[in-house]
Chain A
Amino acid sequence: ELKVEQNPLFLSMQEGKNYTIYCNYSTTSDRLYWYRQDPGKSLESLFVLLSNGAVKQEGRLMASLDTKARLSTLHITAAVHDLSATYFCAVTETSGSRLTFGEGTQLTVNP
């Protein structure tokens, strides 16, 4: 059974600071996704990572994937208040199609 764990689950940080959210998964996977959810809203796709060493960046967010370590990171650079949201990673087993989600990381960026 595929398990996906995120840490930290809660993150409070100051504007301008850097931080990293970690996503570990338990079995072989060929696709990893990062989503953002604002309070009371739906999930918005941020990144799709498909191969070992993949790195994608959008604004102040950068995601990477290490399939050998079964680890993905979401790095936040110089955080701003608008990044406050819950971030989920989700993983698909190799050749599978079902997503298994992590618990989510609730990020709060304080002025």
Chain B
Amino acid sequence: DADVTQTPRNRITKTGKRIMLECSQTKGHDRMYWYRQDPGLGLRLIYYSFDVKDINKGEISDGYSVSRQAQAKFSLSLESAIPNQTALYFCATSDPSGTAYSSYNEQFFGPGTRLTVL
């Protein structure tokens, strides 16, 4: 079973619709992240959470919101989707402690959600 799962994997929606992307993890990590990927721009951080009560904005949070329902679940919402939010969205997790320094805060990515806003 995958350690980090995302649902849905693909979604096509219309401008103005509310969309929720969900991320679940079985790695037991406290830290979770949402990124979007656009061609030629690498991955950009939208929001991140260090625990259930800690939510932080990333570099491109406008137009997005998040909810950390439990240690294992982190959802991303687009309240009113617009076409320039068409992208590939990734969830990631990390463990700041790790079992060895070499694993400190290494991030593990989910399979991604391809979102198209028409």
Give the B-binding residues of A (Cβ under 8 A): 4, 9, 31, 33, 41-45, 48, 50, 88, 90, 92, 97-104
Partner among A43, A48, A102 whose Cβ is within 8 Å of the Cβ of B102 = A48
Q: Give 22 A-B contacts (CB < 8 Å), ordered by A residue.
A: A4-B42, A33-B106, A41-B112, A42-B90, A42-B109, A43-B43, A43-B90, A45-B106, A48-B102, A50-B101, A88-B42, A90-B43, A92-B105, A97-B31, A97-B94, A97-B105, A98-B45, A98-B48, A99-B107, A102-B42, A103-B40, A103-B41
Given contacts A31-B104, A45-B108, A98-B58, 18 further A-B contacts (CB under 8 A): A9-B40, A42-B90, A42-B110, A43-B90, A43-B109, A44-B109, A45-B107, A48-B103, A48-B106, A50-B104, A97-B48, A97-B96, A98-B45, A98-B48, A99-B33, A99-B107, A101-B44, A104-B40
How many contacting A-B pairs (Cβ < 8 A)? 53
Q: Which residue of A lies closest to B94 (CB)?
A: A97
Contact B107 A41 (CB under 8 A): no
Contacts A42-B110, A43-B109, A48-B106 known; A101 to B40 CB distance under 8 Å? no
| Cα(A45)–Cα(B108), bound, Å | 7
Chain A nearest CB, measured from B94 CB (Å) = 8
Q: Which residues of B contact A33 (CB under 8 A)?
A: 106-107
Taking a contact as CB atoms under 8 Å apart, the answer to whether A88 and B58 are in contact is no
In the docked arrangement, what's the CA distance between A2 and B111, Å?
A: 26
A103-B40 Cα distance, complex, nearest whole Å: 6
